[in-house]
């Protein structure tokens, strides 16, 4: 009487679909095939086994086939690989990877959730390297056991995405000598180049040998050779340069792929075969801010898609509004969160969109409270509409809260003015009466309304080199500790009495520590008749982080406050 529903892949998407299918019907037969020995393991927790945060590899497995059967009447067949689909007869060919036995299994509905696999490029000498990838519990257990037994403790991680950074962090926490190699000029593409510097610094500060803008050219015995000529000793190499959707099964069955190379699905996550659905890292999804298809290998969207498929199979409407991509990472003591568009993505997609940014660095709670930390917060919004396009936050405190608020606002098409009005929870241990998000909304709407002008911290080096008039409005003791070489010091507290020191015939660039006092000074000067005044967004603090990494000539490990810019 019930249908027979087969699912390929038993992790995030597959397991979620199976559980929801069962909740919607007791009649259907539900069988989940998983090539590996485990279903329903915590993919995202894998790197945390390397530091012992998750002590035993077994703990990473959340549900066993027995429990799926007993609790949900779902058959989870591990070590079973679906090797082909016969769409005409509506059967899949299943191979037991332990015994090699094959058999056919018929389906009424088929759900593909095969995931994505690590890209391992064919680099010269790769056969000489001890290459590891991190996809499942078997992988991480293997890597962990291997590194436990190497003498030199030298491990290289190639690729600075989520997996690469998390693996590097967790290996470092366990005392390994970790080199993290990224071919692009920055790690973590969900963050812009300016924002990611805080994370770059944190990796350095914790002793990770971070190399960006350099590529692996070959491998030698226990050595990674880079295009720059650098040679990195590495008894183990973790390859984490990216993932590619598992599409072989789909392609061989004649299912369509999209332009991104991932499986193409409609608004109900149905492939071009009405009885076959696909979810998770193997598919492409609609990005509702770029208005284009994209690959979005994240666990949250996979779960939503899986639920959508189960609903659709059971005749329930699916609401697929597309995705905006929200993510967060812990890097030692710092947290970084992002949502929506960033400048890098806008440029990479060559998007025809006019935008501006706000970069503020307020405290994440009242300064008097223990554990108050700065939040580096960047808001991206459309000009002239003020529609919010994205946000990034990096800091030691509760940055995910601020980005989740923006992710929520974006879903409702919010503008920067809306952010000012948000009533967020306030008590001294949790935030400030004017939260980071309100603050960014105020600055953005002031900019949008032409109340003042700003320059970015990325532009300051050019200003210095061109001999622009930069005024440091911090107090003298702050200036004396460290300052931009060539900057004049006129504290906010003295500026109205020293107007004659400020040229009226040229552009003036004001900065303080984080941009707050210089904003007040900017408005004061404007109101006093100076016409060409700019506030340096992010201030000395933002600049310090930005320049920290750019200055190749100095020791990057010095603390930011000792910094003098030349």
Active site amino acids: 44
Instruction: Determine, following the binding rule CB under 8 A, whether residue 251 of this chain makes contact with a copy of itself.
Output: no
Instruction: Give the residue, chosen from 5, 6, 8, 22, that forms a contact with a copy of itself under the rule CB under 8 A.
Output: 22
Query: In the window 354-393, what residues touch a copy of itself (CB under 8 A)?
Result: 366, 368-370
**Site track for a copy of itself across 80-119, x = CB under 8 A:** ----------------------------------------
Question: What is the distance between the alpha carbons of residues 445 and 462, in angstroms, rounded to a whole number?
Answer: 27
Q: Give the HSE-up count for residue 562: Cα atoms under 13 Å, Cβ half-sphere.
A: 6
- Please give the helix or strand (H or E) that residue 471 lies within, else none: strand 469-472
Among 337, 347, 432, 443, smallest CA distance to 390 is for 337
Instruction: Give the residue, chosen from 275, 417, 478, 551, that forms a contact with a copy of itself under the rule CB under 8 A.
Output: 417
What's the min distance (Å) between Cβ of 312 and a copy of itself? 15
Instruction: Determine, following the binding rule CB under 8 A, whether residue 44 of this chain makes contact with a copy of itself.
Output: yes
Largest CA distance in the chain: 90
Instruction: Determine, following the binding rule CB under 8 A, whether residue 482 of this chain makes contact with a copy of itself.
Output: no
Question: What is the distance between the alpha carbons of residues 291 and 296, in angstroms, rounded to a whole number?
Answer: 14
Query: In the window 138-197, what residues touch a copy of itself (CB under 8 A)?
Result: 162
Instruction: Give the residue, chosen from 177, 197, 303, 454, that forms a contact with a copy of itself under the rule CB under 8 A.
Output: 303
**Site track for a copy of itself across 483-522, x = CB under 8 A:** ---------xxx-x--------------------x-xx--
**Considering CB under 8 A, how many residues would be counted as binding a copy of itself?**
90
Q: Which is nearer to a copy of itself, 228 or 408 (CB)?
A: 408
Among 164, 170, 202, smallest CA distance to 336 is for 202
For residue 551, give the 3-state DSSP assignment.
coil
Instruction: Determine, following the binding rule CB under 8 A, whether residue 405 of this chain makes contact with a copy of itself.
Output: yes
Instruction: Determine, following the binding rule CB under 8 A, whether residue 558 of this chain makes contact with a copy of itself.
Output: no
Q: Which stretch binds a copy of itself (CB under 8 A): 92-100, 171-179, 237-245, 331-339?
A: 331-339
Question: What is the distance between the alpha carbons of residues 303 and 376, in angstroms, rounded to a whole number?
Answer: 30
In the sheet that holds 223-226, the strands lie side by side as 216-220, 223-226, 231-233
Q: Which stretch binds a copy of itself (CB under 8 A): 51-59, 95-103, 266-274, 533-541?
A: 51-59
Query: In the window 267-286, what residues touch a copy of itself (CB under 8 A)?
Result: none
- Please give the helix or strand (H or E) that residue 358 lies within, else none: strand 355-360
Percent helix, strand and coil across the chain, each to the nearest 5: 30, 25, 40
Question: Is 541:374 a contact under the CB 8 Å cutoff?
Answer: yes
Spatial neighbors of 225 by CB under 8 A, at least 6 apart, are 125, 216, 217, 218, 219, 231, 232
Question: Is 78:10 a contact under the CB 8 Å cutoff?
Answer: yes
**Site track for a copy of itself across 519-538, x = CB under 8 A:** xx--xx--xx----------
Query: In the window 338-357, what residues touch a copy of itself (CB under 8 A)?
Result: 338-339
Instruction: Determine, following the binding rule CB under 8 A, whether residue 430 of this chain makes contact with a copy of itself.
Output: yes
Instruction: Determine, following the binding rule CB under 8 A, whether residue 75 of this chain makes contact with a copy of itself.
Output: no
């Amino acid at each position: 009487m019930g249908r027979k529903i087969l699912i390929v892949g038993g992790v995030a998407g597959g397991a979620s679909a199976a559980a929801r299918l069962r909740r919607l019907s007791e009649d259907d037969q539900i069988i989940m095939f998983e090539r590996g020995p485990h279903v329903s393991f915590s993919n995202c927790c894998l790197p945390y086994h390397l530091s012992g945060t998750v002590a035993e590899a077994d703990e990473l497995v959340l549900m066993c086939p027995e429990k799926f059967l007993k609790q949900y009447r779902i058959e989870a067949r591990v070590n079973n690989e679906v090797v082909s689909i016969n769409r005409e007869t509506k059967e899949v060919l299943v191979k037991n990877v332990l015994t090699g036995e094959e058999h056919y299994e018929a389906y009424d509905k088929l759900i593909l959730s095969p995931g994505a696999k690590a890209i391992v490029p064919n680099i010269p000498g790769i056969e000489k390297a001890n290459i590891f990838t991190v996809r499942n519990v078997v992988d991480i257990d293997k890597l962990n056991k291997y590194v436990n037994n190497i003498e030199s403790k030298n491990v290289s991680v190639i690729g600075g995405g989520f997996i690469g950074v998390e693996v590097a962090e967790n290996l470092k926490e366990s005392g390994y000598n970790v080199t993290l190699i990224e071919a692009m000029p920055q790690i973590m593409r969900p963050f812009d180049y300016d924002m990611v510097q805080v994370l770059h610094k944190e990796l350095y500060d914790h002793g990770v040998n971070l190399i960006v803008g350099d590529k692996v050219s070959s491998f030698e015995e226990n050595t990674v050779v880079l295009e720059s000529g650098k040679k990195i000793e590495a008894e183990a190499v973790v390859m984490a340069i990216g993932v590619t959707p598992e599409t072989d099964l789909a392609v061989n069955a004649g299912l369509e792929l999209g332009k991104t190379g991932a499986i193409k699905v409609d608004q109900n996550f149905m492939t071009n075969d009405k009885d076959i659905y696909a979810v998770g890292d193997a598919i492409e999804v609609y990005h509702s801010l770029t208005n284009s298809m994209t690959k979005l290998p994240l666990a949250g969207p996979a779960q939503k898609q899986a639920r959508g498929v189960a609903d659709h199979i059971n005749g329930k409407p699916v609401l697929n509004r597309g995705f905006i991509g929200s993510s967060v990472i812990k890097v030692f003591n710092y947290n970084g969160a992002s949502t929506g568009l960033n400048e890098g993505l806008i440029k990479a997609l060559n998007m025809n969109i006019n935008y501006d940014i706000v970069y503020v660095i307020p405290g994440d709670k009242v300064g008097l409270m223990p554990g108050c930390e700065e939040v580096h917060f960047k808001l991206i919004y459309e000009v002239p509409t003020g529609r919010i396009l994205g946000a990034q936050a990096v800091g030691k405190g509760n940055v995910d809260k601020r980005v989740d608020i923006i992710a929520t606002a974006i879903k409702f098409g919010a503008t920067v003015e809306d952010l000012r009005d948000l009533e967020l929870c306030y008590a001294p241990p949790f935030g400030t009466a004017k939260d980071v998000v309100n603050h960014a909304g105020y600055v953005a709407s002031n900019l949008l309304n032409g109340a003042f002008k700003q320059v970015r911290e990325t532009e300051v080096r050019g200003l210095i080199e061109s001999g622009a008039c930069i005024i440091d409005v911090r107090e003298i003791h702050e200036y004396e500790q460290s300052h931009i070489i060539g900057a004049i010091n006129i504290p906010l507290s003295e500026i109205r009495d020293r107007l004659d020191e400020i040229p009226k015939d040229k552009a003036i660039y004001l900065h303080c520590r984080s941009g707050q006092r210089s904003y007040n000074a900017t408005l004061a000067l404007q109101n006093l008749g100076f016409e060409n005044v700019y506030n340096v967004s992010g201030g000395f603090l933002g600049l310090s982080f930005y320049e920290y990494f750019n200055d190749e000539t100095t020791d990057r490990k010095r603390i930011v406050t000792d910094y003098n810019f030349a």
